[in-house]
Chains A and B, each alone.
Chain A
Amino acid sequence: MATAAQFRICPRTGLQFHKSAETLIKVNAVAAVVALLVGGVLALLITLTRWQAVHLIDADNFYLFLTAHGLDMLVVWIIFFEVAVLYFCSSTLLRCRLATPRLAWLAWILMVVGTVVFNTTIFMGDATVMMTSYVPMPAVPGFYLGLILFAVGALVACFIFLGTLVVAKAEKTYEGSIPLVTFGALTACIIAIFTIASGAIILIPTFGWSIGYIKHIDPAMYRVIWWAFGHSSQQINVSAHVAVWYAIAAIVFGAKPMSERISRTAFFLYICFLQLASAHHILADPGVGTEWKVFNTSYAMYLAVLASMIHGLTVPGAIEVAQREKGYTKGLFEWLRKAPWGNPVFSGMFMSLIGFGFLGGISGVMMGTEQLNMIIHNTIYVPGHFHATVVLGTTLAFMAMTYFLLPTLFQREIINPGLAKLQPYIFALGMGLFTLAFMGAGTLGVPRRHWDITFAGAAMPYEFPGTALLMLAIGGIGGIIAVVGGALYIWLTVGTILFGKRLDAGAYTTTISPLRMPVQAALAGHGHGGGFAAPGTFVFALVFLAAFVLYYFVNWKYLSTVWGLS
């Protein structure tokens, strides 16, 4: 090596950080939090507008802010954080240097510039087209260009992650296979590459259309390809936050995966069976056949759902096994009662798992069922669902991970630990309330992306039942609580980085300390091959299944009462 890479070993966790990678993880995480701040302010304004009794902002700004909120949260906050996760899972966990740090800076700059460009067009009022930007509703060229720049940056970051895996292998910084968490990050990376390619296939021609170079973009084709980008990008989140769950189970409890084979296979199922999941979004569309819809929404087996159900068992299962080994063996649930509920790293992660499974997962399958989709499509049930997956699931998992990274990566002691203890609970409570209320309102037919469901000034208004308005009010209250939780998170992270007490960083050296397997560990197995290692988790899983089955058939029952359609 021409310039020797520098490393430090964190004295508290033993993790080894490559200096360049460390800085890059930090700047990506900071960019993510800035986007979260912008998106959070918009979230407050939007939620207070949909709360019909408050109805805060005017229609123009409502639709404008909604467009910006969607993109800044779902794209900018999450993908910047995911890039940080990718660099951490490769360079830090594999104890090697990050491949091409200069290109990684280029990726970061492209993403920042892209973000600024498309946000500018939105806030100028030239691109109020919602995140989905369905053609033929036009936005100015800069909107698509900004998105493309951002995507190119993210793509470069994906390849840097892959390059870093190659570096680690070549420089032999670890033995055997990559860790499960890195494997999960690899899954996210592979799905991300597919996702970004789909985005390019549709956004580049749409950019051409916006500058007048291409005459016509077919709206049905746009939807099919755009959703290969829009939906798959949510699978990046799922893979990334499941990887974070495993990481936190390992960090907090020293939990081993119950079975490497099962967990890795489940990740592999994501790669194989999530990709064309765009079909979920086309179920109420003309132009595609019934067989296409039925097959592509499930691939006949729902193996991606199966994969999530597996992770839903194996993550808490691994925690249960680790806790039982520590002696918390009383009854079915002592392991859970005695878990460190005051540690935000754990509490955030566990509520992310519950929220994602019970609220996000089950509702997602309802929407992804061909016929049931008709009574849900484009209602406010849909934002209810994806706030459960992507906010309660992904965002809360990332928040939990942050509380681990602050002392380790930023080498600062968290200011106000009492507040940090509470923050995940406040956020999860608010978001849980919000998602349930929105799903309830959606069941009553309330449309999404709608400024005024009282239809004031319309020639033929529809009066939604009073319950729908009540649901929106509850959603508004939940939204405010969640925004308070989000604001606390931002205060805690920014405050800690700026004012937190400096912790011992460990010195930088040029020597790598590679991972060598202790002989004993290599010989000893996991030791729970034969028994029934996690009975409490299994009971939990059965409760989940019961809720799932019940809710599924309740929806079919409801469908059977509406007009005949054929």
Chain B
Amino acid sequence: MSAILPPPQRIWWKQPVDKVEILWIVIAFVWCMIMFFMMPYWHLYGKQNLSSETYKVRPELFAQATQAMVDKYTVRTETDLKVPVVAPPAGSDVYLIARLWDWWPILELEAGKTYRLNLSSMDYQHGFSLQPENINIQVLPGYQHVVNVTPNRTGTYHIVCNEFCGIGHHKMASRLYVK
């Protein structure tokens, strides 16, 4: 019963180590280094890296910017709630509001074009979850997160909320179109 007793040799740190342990530590360490280098490597050569461009923002100012985009680029409205569908030009700033309990407005983007997607919350924390791509980004109130997105396939996408935000959380879902 020796792991529950003091080491039998006083100078235990000088005991030789078995080859099997040394070999495993070397292999495991090399693997750990590979895992680390994958992250900077992907920043250099990979195409999916989350932007860290962030601004502090007051919710009402973010809402104003969103409204300005909606006023300018709305192409139609959808559902009984007349949610505007907005088709802003490629390369521009597009805004998406997260609030209790919807995403506003609906965006219509073009495949192969890059957009500056601005995310922020009006109230609690929310989770931007684009399905079926399964891209997930945290959305915080007071922070404007600018993510450059390049849709690669056309179709109808869905945005669901994956951060618990109260009793309407499971109804907070919207669409996003890629033409």
Contact = CB atoms under 8 A, between A and B. Distances in A.
Interface of A: 59-60, 63, 93, 130, 134, 136-137, 174-182, 218-220, 223, 246-247, 249-251, 254-262, 283-290, 293-294, 297-298, 300-303, 305-306, 309-310, 313-314, 317-318, 365, 369-371, 374-379, 443-445, 447-453, 455, 457-462, 464-465, 515, 517, 521-522, 524-526, 528-535, 537-538, 541, 545, 548-549, 552, 556, 559-560, 562-566
A400 to B, nearest CB: 15
Nearest to A14: B1
Given A258-B21, A302-B32, A459 B152 contact: no
Contacts of A309: 24, 28
A302 B33 CA distance: 7
B12 A286 contact: no
18 contacts: A176-B12, A177-B10, A179-B3, A255-B3, A258-B20, A288-B52, A290-B43, A301-B29, A302-B32, A370-B50, A371-B50, A448-B162, A450-B162, A459-B81, A517-B8, A563-B150, A564-B47, A565-B147
Contacts, number: 336
Interface string B1-37: 1111111111011011111110111011101110110
Interface SS of B by simple majority:
mixed
Given A251-B1, A259-B15, A564-B152, A374 B8 contact: no
Task: List 9 tightest A-B contacts by C-beta distance, closest first.
Answer: A529-B16, A564-B150, A286-B145, A447-B162, A462-B158, A302-B32, A250-B3, A377-B136, A378-B162
A562 B150 CA distance: 9
Given A445-B131, A525-B9, A462 B167 contact: no
B171 A563 contact: no
Contacts of B163: 134, 378, 449
A286 B143 contact: yes
B164 A180 contact: no
Contacts of B50: 283-284, 290, 370-371, 374, 565
B124 interface: yes
Given A287-B143, A462-B173, A531 B138 contact: no
B32 A565 contact: no
Given A260-B12, A525-B9, A565-B47, A286 B28 contact: no
Interface string B143-176: 1110111111000001011111111011111110
Contacts of B75: none
B163 to A, nearest CB: 6
Contact of B4 (A179, A445, A525, A549): A179
A22 to B, nearest CB: 17
Contacts of B10: 175-177, 522
Contact of B165 (A137, A178, A376, A559): A137
A365 B35 contact: yes
Interface in B70-125: 78-81, 83, 102, 114, 119, 123-125
B20 A537 contact: yes
Provide the main secondary structure of the chain A interface: loop
Contacts of B114: 564, 566
Interface of B: 1-10, 12-13, 15-21, 23-25, 27-29, 31-33, 35-36, 38-40, 42-43, 46-52, 54, 78-81, 83, 102, 114, 119, 123-125, 127, 129-145, 147-152, 158, 160-167, 169-175
Contacts of A562: 48, 133-135, 152
A298 B36 contact: yes
Contacts of B23: 538
B132 A445 contact: yes
B12 A177 contact: yes
Contact of A371 (B1, B24, B49, B81): B49
Q: Which one of B16, B38, B162 has the highest number of Cβ atoms from chain A below 10 Å of its Cβ?
A: B162
Q: Which of B25, B130, B147, B165 has the most CB of A within 10 A?
A: B25
Given A59-B170, A448-B162, A560-B46, A290 B52 contact: yes
Contacts of A526: 15
Contact of A545 (B2, B31, B144): B31
Contact of A306 (B6, B21, B32, B80): B32
A371 B136 contact: no
A447 B148 contact: no
Contact of A449 (B35, B52, B140, B169): B169
Contacts of B46: 371, 559-560
Contact of A378 (B49, B81, B136): B136
B51 A287 contact: no
A258 B17 CA distance: 8
Given A317-B20, A371-B42, A565-B150, A462 B4 contact: no
A144 to B, nearest CB: 17
A60 B164 CA distance: 12
A302 B165 CA distance: 33
Given A251-B1, A254-B2, A290-B52, A218 B13 contact: no
A294 B49 CA distance: 11
A534 to B, nearest CB: 5
A284 B132 contact: no
Contacts of B123: 136
A563 B133 contact: yes
A444 B131 CA distance: 9
A211 B9 CA distance: 57
B167 A517 contact: no
A448 B33 CA distance: 31
A260 B15 contact: yes
A301 B32 contact: yes
A318 B2 CA distance: 11
A443 B134 contact: yes
A461 B173 contact: yes
Given A181-B3, A449-B163, 10 more contacts: A298-B32, A302-B32, A302-B36, A305-B32, A305-B35, A379-B162, A447-B127, A458-B173, A462-B158, A522-B10
Contacts of B142: 218-220
A215 to B, nearest CB: 13
A462 B165 CA distance: 18
A529 B15 contact: yes
Contacts of B144: 286
Given A262-B21, A285-B138, A565-B150, A515 B5 contact: yes
Contacts of A284: 50, 136-138
A294 B162 contact: no
A460 B25 contact: no
A509 to B, nearest CB: 21
Contact of A515 (B6, B16, B51, B175): B6
B162 to A, nearest CB: 3
